[in-house]
């Protein structure tokens, strides 16, 4: 816990402190690509809201009907409207074939994919559906 000791010993608690900046840089170096930025957030909810706002998304966002309520809160906080979708009862995730249809009918510009209970979920079909819909619009 050397990082916590460092924070407590200098009495500096800030989103823009040295440790937060170092953490952001390390994440970006490890996982980022050229032209990308990394912003650490105080919660997943603010991270989702910030991402939706930064993306310039307008209108509606597709969200699974089975998720933590803060997922919907993040959409509302970004000034958008959540569109709830049923989930597969075996995987607890949105079915890719249903997503394709919903994207076509709703005109939604974003999808939040959730993995309840930490279940491993292959979202490659979902991402392909969203990319194909984006190319068609």
Q: What is the pLDDT of residues 7-22, one digit of tens each?
A: 778 776 677 778 888 8
Residues 51 and 82 in one domain: yes
Q: What is the pLDDT of residue 135?
A: 65
Residues 63 and 112 in one domain: yes
Residues 30 and 59 in one domain: no
What digits encode the pLDDT tens for the residues 71-126?
Answer: 999 999 999 999 999 999 988 999 988 998 999 899 898 999 998 888 888 999 99
Residues 20 and 73 in one domain: no
Q: What is the pLDDT of residue 69?
A: 94
Residues 50 and 28 in one domain: no
The phi and psi torsions of 110 (rounded to 5 degrees) equal -150, 155
Q: How many CB atoms lie within 10 A of CB 31?
A: 9
pTM of the model: 0.81
Give how many domains the chain has, as a whole number: 2
Residues 29 and 47 in one domain: no
Domain of 92, in residue numbers: 43-136
Please, is 3 exposed, middle or buried when counting C-beta atoms within 10 Å of its C-beta (0-12, 13-18, 19+)?
Answer: exposed
Residues 3 and 52 in one domain: no
What digits encode the pLDDT tens for the residues 54-69?
Answer: 999 999 999 999 999 9
Question: In this structure, what CATH number is given to the domain that contains residue 67?
Answer: 3.40.640.10
């Amino acid at each position: 816990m050397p990082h916590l000791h460092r924070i407590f010993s200098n009495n500096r608690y800030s989103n823009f402190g040295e440790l937060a900046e170092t953490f952001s840089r390390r994440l970006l170096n490890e996982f980022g690509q050229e032209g990308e930025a990394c912003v650490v957030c105080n919660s997943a909810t603010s991270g989702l809201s910030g991402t939706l706002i930064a993306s310039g998304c307008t209108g509606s966002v597709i969200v699974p009907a089975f998720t933590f309520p803060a997922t919907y809160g993040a959409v509302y906080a970004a000034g958008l409207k959540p569109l709830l979708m049923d989930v597969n009862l075996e995987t607890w995730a949105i079915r890719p074939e249903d997503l394709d249809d919903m994207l076509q009918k709703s005109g939604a510009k974003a999808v939040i994919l959730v993995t309840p209970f930490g279940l491993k979920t292959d979202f490659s079909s979902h991402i392909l559906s969203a990319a194909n819909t984006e190319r068609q619009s």
